[in-house]
Amino acid sequence: MFEQYDLTKQVSDEDYKAIFPDLAAHLSRLQREARDLDLPVIITADGWNLSGISTMLHQFVLALDPRLYSYHAASTPTREEADRPFLWRFWLRTPTTGRMAIFDRSWYSRLTAERIHPGDGGAPERSLREITRFERHLTDAGAVIIKLFLHISRDEQAERIERIKQEPAAAVLIDGHETVRLEHYELYLPVFEGMIAATDTPNAPWTVVEAHDRNFTVIKGMSTVVHALERAIEERRSTVVPRYPAPLQPPSNKLLDLPDPSKHALSKKEYHEAINQYGEQITALQYSLYRERLPLIVVYEGWDAAGKGGAIMRLTRRLNPRICQVEPIGPPNEAESRHHYLWRFWRDLPKKGHIAVFDRSWYGRVLVERVEGLSSPSEVERAYNEINEFEEALTDWGALLVKFWLHIDRNEQLHRFIDREEDPEKQWKITPDDWRNRSRWDIYAASVAEMLERTDTKTAPWTVISTNDKRYARVKCLRTVAETVEQALK
């Protein structure tokens, strides 16, 4: 593939001086337009060692308004990062709407490393799938991704290796510059070709930049960015996002055909025995998870007043606060709402060996946001798939994932609302929003049914629990967590 590129291309200094200022001014204008249109922009530059990536990017950033971009230089993952899925650190650095993120080497380094060192336990096919999904999630939500690959020949690299030996001062910053060896060129060649072929998607295409001549590299790189931005800006201007709620199916799902909870009612004594038994089991199991470095993610979704708080408390009181975090999920704040909706859930992932309990979760996208018309029909449609892919990324990473839907019927909810309003210690738990949501019960019910239908996957199944009997429900939650962990540790 690389042989099709003519590496002799050059731009004379004279031409460069004539072209560059206009191009830079153009880029600067487009950046402000992208801001005004709330367009998030991602630029990645990868390429051969010593191909001049940061030299090129340096010229880009001089044209840009520093208020509107962040620059992310490659580095080996920190301990915090190594304890998370490999895309975690890149998710965290995705730009908010109207901003630009520049990656000086990107997530592709991982893929390359896994191919070059197949013995190190990497899974390049999986990483490839993750990367494609990552880029698609972002571009589907409106981001522009521009990927540049700086290409040089074996001879050119050899020459640059020699040159750097003469000038060690500037080399301190070149990642692994001490270990760039010529014999690696042949090793990397098929890896880079395969990588570009496999990830040159319509939504995030690669541009190979012939990088022998510095002037040419800058002009071609910057022109690529300018054209991609122009296209994206034009497209954004002509797009109208519909803001009506997605249509709904009738409210039924076989998972909701719950057995009559009265048959399961537990006596106080039975309840306490069971809660203690599973609780003690979980206390012990958490340390095994910690030692085995398995992350555990427990998601609680359910009707208002279905007893999420009580169920969560029965779990967390058994867990050491040094390894368990509770993430209460409300409406996104201003910063969060300027990111992809999955961004804050990526951010809140537990470390390996730690436990994250989500009190509501990413499912808000297809529940409250859907019902309130905050997500468009196509966003809802995409969300099912994105959520399944997100959860697959988690389980592939090694996480144990438990998802609860706590179910009550409409009458039981009314009883509980009234109880709360009458008890001064519980009044704070009930708000006008709760009553408003209740008035839309049928629409919610249909959303719940469709959600269970489309996100009950083999790797991340739902556990639906009737909580009309609270004791039964709390025990069932604890037991499910305990059994899932025990199963995984076998």
Interface contacts to a second copy, rule CB under 8 A: 25, 32, 54, 57-58, 61-62, 65-67, 71, 73, 78-80, 104, 169-170, 172-173, 284, 287-288, 290-291, 313, 316-317, 320-323, 325-328, 330, 333-335, 359, 425, 428
Closest contact distance (angstroms) between CB of 299 and a second copy is: 14
Torsion angles phi and psi, residue 466, rounded to 5: -75, 125
CB of 218 to a second copy, least distance (A): 13
Q: Of the two residues 182 and 284, which places its CB atom closer to a second copy in the complex?
A: 284
Query: Residue 306 is which amino acid?
Result: A
Q: Which is nearer to a second copy, 349 or 451 (CB)?
A: 349
Give how far Cα 224 sits from Cα of 18, 47, 140, Å. 18, 16, 21
Terminal-to-terminal C-alpha distance of the chain: 47
* Least distance to a second copy, CB of residue 485, Å: 14
- Least separation in angstroms between residue 57's CB and a second copy is 6
Residue by residue, DSSP assigns 107-125 as THHHHHHHHH-GGGS--HH
Per the CB < 8 A criterion, the answer to whether 230 and 30 are in contact is: yes
Give the shortest CB-80-to-a second copy separation in angstroms.
6
Contacts of 354 (CB under 8 A, 6+ apart): 290, 295, 296, 323, 324, 325
C-beta closer to a second copy: residue 328 or 373 = 328
Q: Collect contacts of 321-326 with beta carbons under 8 A, ≥24 apart.
A: 323/286, 323/289, 323/290, 323/353, 323/354, 323/355, 324/286, 324/354, 324/355, 324/356, 324/357, 325/350, 325/354, 325/355, 325/356, 325/357, 326/356, 326/357, 326/359
Nearer Cβ to a second copy, position 316 or 447? 316
Cβ-based nearer residue to a second copy, 130 or 301? 301
Q: Is 204 helix (H, G, I), strand (E, B) or coil?
A: coil
The residues facing 357 across adjacent strands are 298, 326
Shorter beta-carbon distance to a second copy: residue 166 or 333:
333
Smallest distance from a second copy to CB 22, Å: 11
Q: What's the min distance (Å) between Cβ of 294 and a second copy?
A: 14
DSSP 340: -
Least Å distance between CB 317 and a second copy?
5
Q: Name which of 315 and 465 has its Cβ closer to a second copy.
A: 315
Nearest-10 Cα torsion for 277, 278, 279, 282: 130
Sign of CA dihedral 364, 367, 368, 374: positive
CB closer to a second copy, 61 vs 443:
61
